[in-house]
């Protein structure tokens, strides 16, 4: 039933994608303003950094957040071009409106259950749904991911490695300023948000098995080995009458890396054909367990 609902999020269905973007931004902005900011929960990203900066300098979180995201988008336009940055601009514009709207809408409202752990879990589940809706719509809201994308595409810096380091530093700063207890709640929140978001974007399986039909299999396998740090299998194939031989690359990736792989495949070979389906278990082979930061 869930997959049938989410099957409407296809590229041609711009109205449904727009609704998903608006709803996702509203949910994420509400979670940020109702939960993260009042409770000083630093779970990474520019939102977490804004909370830290606010504590140190008294700069309002929204002021810092808006300025930082705009700066990241300007850098992306200069380095990557307007067309490549357009989805981030649209996503950020929507998120900007929702951040400022909810900051005024929830003035004086404080939601907290008897157990703060339950409060974290509740808001993390809701935030994961919102984040998943944004990414499922095909947009993003700019920020650190925009800079990481530039580093990956232009300077071949591993996305996951730098992302883990940056978010790790932000969370560490939260530990220093707000204490280890807050950090534990932040990590719990982050893990739940990531897992729920992945489930909304791709499904409930932990991995995706991907078959890539391309004339540039050598470049693809080099990327999979060097950047994703995982193994692959090469399958020799022909068309139905035994001609036009090609090498098909088969690889299993964590669900949260699937769209990264998909985008990179299209960058390497715009004519590549990619098939994927859920994968629930892998035994043996070369795998890379990437921290879900």
Whole-number pLDDT of residue 1: 44
**Complete DSSP assignment for 174-215:** HHHHH-HHHHHHHHHHHHHHHHHHHHHHT-S-SEEEEEEEES
Residues of the chain with pLDDT under 70: 1-13, 152-163, 201-206, 238-244, 256, 280-293
User: What structural domains and CATH numbers belong to the chain?
Assistant: 2-201 (no CATH), 207-279 (3.30.70.120)
pLDDT value at residue 8: 45
* Sheet (strand 233-237) strand order: 233-237, 246-254, 207-214, 273-279
Residues contacting residue 271 through CB under 8 Å, at least 6 positions apart: 214, 215
Cα–Cα distance for residue pair 103/86, rounded to 1 Å: 26
* Segment (H or E) for 19: helix 14-31
Report how far apart, in Å, the C-alpha atoms of 118 and of each of 63, 110, 114, 129 are. Answer: 30, 15, 8, 17
- What pLDDT is attached to residue 241? 58
Q: What is the pLDDT of residues 46-77, one digit of tens each?
A: 888 999 999 999 999 989 988 888 888 888 88
Q: How many residues does the chain have?
A: 293
**Tokens of residue 203, six digits:** 């499904």
pLDDT of res. 83: 78
Instruction: Decide: pTM greater than 0.75.
Output: no
Per-residue confidence (pLDDT) for residue 171, from 0 to 100 = 86
């Amino acid at each position: 039933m869930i997959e049938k609902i989410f099957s409407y999020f296809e590229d041609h269905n711009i109205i449904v994608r727009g609704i998903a973007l608006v709803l996702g931004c509203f949910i994420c902005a509400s979670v940020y303003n109702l939960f993260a900011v009042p409770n000083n929960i630093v779970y990474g990203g520019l939102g977490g950094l804004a909370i830290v900066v606010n504590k140190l300098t008294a700069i309002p979180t929204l002021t810092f957040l808006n300025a930082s995201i705009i700066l990241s988008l300007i850098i992306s336009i200069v380095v990557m071009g307007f067309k490549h940055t357009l989805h981030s601009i649209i996503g950020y514009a929507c998120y900007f409106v929702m951040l400022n709207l909810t900051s005024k809408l929830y003035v004086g409202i404080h939601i907290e259950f008897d157990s703060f752990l339950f409060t974290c879990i509740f808001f993390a589940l809701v935030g994961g749904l919102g984040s998943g809706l944004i990414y499922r719509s095909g947009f993003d809201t700019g920020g650190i991911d925009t800079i990481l994308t530039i580093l990956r595409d232009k300077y071949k810096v591993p996305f996951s490695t730098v992302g883990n380091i940056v978010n790790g530093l932000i969370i560490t700063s939260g530990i220093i300023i707000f204490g280890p207890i807050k950090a534990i709640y932040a990590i719990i929140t982050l893990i739940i948000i990531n897992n729920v978001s992945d489930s909304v974007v791709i499904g409930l399986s932990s991995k995706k098995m991907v078959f890539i039909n391309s004339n540039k299999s050598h470049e693809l396998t080099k990327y999979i080995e060097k950047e994703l740090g995982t193994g692959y299998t090469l399958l020799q194939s022909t068309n139905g009458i035994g001609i036009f031989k090609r090498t098909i690359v088969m690889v299993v990736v964590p669900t949260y890396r699937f769209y990264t792989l998909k985008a990179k495949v299209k960058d390497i070979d715009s004519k590549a054909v990619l098939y994927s389906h859920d994968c629930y278990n892998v035994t043996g082979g070369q795998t890379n367990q990437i921290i879900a930061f």
